[in-house]
Amino acid sequence: IQVTQSPSTLSASVGDRVTITCRASQRISSWLAWYQQKPGKAPKLLIYKGSTLESGVPSRFSGSGSGTDFTLTISSLQPDDFATYYCLQYNTYWTFGQGTKVEVK
């Protein structure tokens, strides 16, 4: 299964609403997770099963979608949210999206 993530780079300001999308090459039900990675650090789980927020993750993060199309939304971007985000499909083996770097506008 291939996963196409877009955009590759996103320029935004604090307070902006940010949306990142992932499209799977075949239906994966809701077997998709989202991760945040900061430079020099390991990825951190944000959302699993398409829309379930991991414990301790701020509620400004949300996930939606099922089948082939998924979205990660940050409702109001905070300074700590500038990072790279990855989606992961785990329906059949494991495949990551290419990543989206959220940078300062």
Partner 1 sequence: EVQLVESGGGLVQPGGSLRLSCAASGFTFSGDSMDWVRQAPGKGLEWVASITGTSSYIYYADSVKGRFTISRDNVRNSLYLQMNSLRAEDTAIYYCVREQGSGSYFVDWGQGTLVTVSS
Q: Which residues bind partner 1 (CB under 8 A)?
A: 31, 33, 35, 37, 42-45, 48-49, 86, 88, 90, 93-99
Q: Which is nearer to partner 1, 15 or 56 (CB)?
A: 56
**Residue 71 CB coordination number (10 Å):** 16
CA distance 92 to 100: 22
Residues 6+ apart with CB under 8 A from 3: 22, 23, 24, 25, 87, 88, 89, 95, 96, 97
Q: Which is nearer to partner 1, 31 or 70 (CB)?
A: 31
Smallest gap from Cβ 17 to partner 1, in A, equals: 25
Q: Which is nearer to partner 1, 53 or 99 (CB)?
A: 99
Smallest gap from Cβ 9 to partner 1, in A, equals: 13
Contact (Cβ atoms closer than 8 angstroms) between residue 58 and residue 75 = no
Smallest gap from Cβ 32 to partner 1, in A, equals: 8
